[in-house]
Amino acid sequence: MPPKKKMCKAVIFDMDGLMFDTEKIYSRAWAYAGEKIGYKIDDEFLNPLRGANRKMCVEYFRERLGSSFDYEYARRIRSEYVQKYLEKEGIPCKPGLYELMNFLKEKNFKIALATSTFKKEAERYLHMADVYKYFDVLVYGDMVARGKPHPDIYLKASEYINESPGNCFVLEDSCNGVLSAASAGCRVIMVPDEVEPDYEISCLLYKKCNSLNDVIECIKAEFIC
């Protein structure tokens, strides 16, 4: 008899860079904010922060740019840029997002969200893209004491969805997100966005996919669904 395939109970999504192609917008917005206040904030500066929690971002900015750097003021400029862009252009969804969501629903997977973005902003994005309805559980960055790369957000998401972390498959695009999910004991499928995984991150992955469409094929091949 052929070997049994692994049972998949739930899939937990990251949001920015994984579901939505927003990291590039954030990069342009931070560069704009930096120009406004006299600092160079480019991709090289931002890459270590992809997927990271707010506290880590504040500490990083002040370590690199000085303890007097007004992070909240700079972030307001960045947020205004992002808001104007999205109002004009809409939320840019990653290819395969709707196909993957529909596939998971059709196959009766539990679906959760675990994003570093705070609730108000995240829910606005989810409704703009009309994907809020797909989720059984939503966990936002302001619902945990320690954000990514700490495991808290994925532990909470698996708890809320009533599955052990080992039965949850996490979709992540960032290295900080991978560290968070792996530390929680989840199986991580990475779909890299702005930064490719190094050897250390690659060793933590269950799979690496090039797109959300590839995730569908990965799940079909690897798990009973």
Distances (CA, A) of 171 to 28, 53, 113, 138: 25, 17, 10, 14
CA 31 vs. chain centroid, Å, equals 21
Is there a catalytic annotation at residue 14? yes
Q: Are 94 and 192 in contact (CB under 8 A)?
A: no
Strand ranges for 115-176 from DSSP E: 137-139, 168-172
Among 14, 16, 173, 193, the active-site one is 14
* Distance separating alpha carbons of residues 151 and 96, to the nearest angstrom: 27
Beta-strand relationship, 187-190 and 168-172? parallel
Tokens of 175: 């290295």
Active site residues: 14
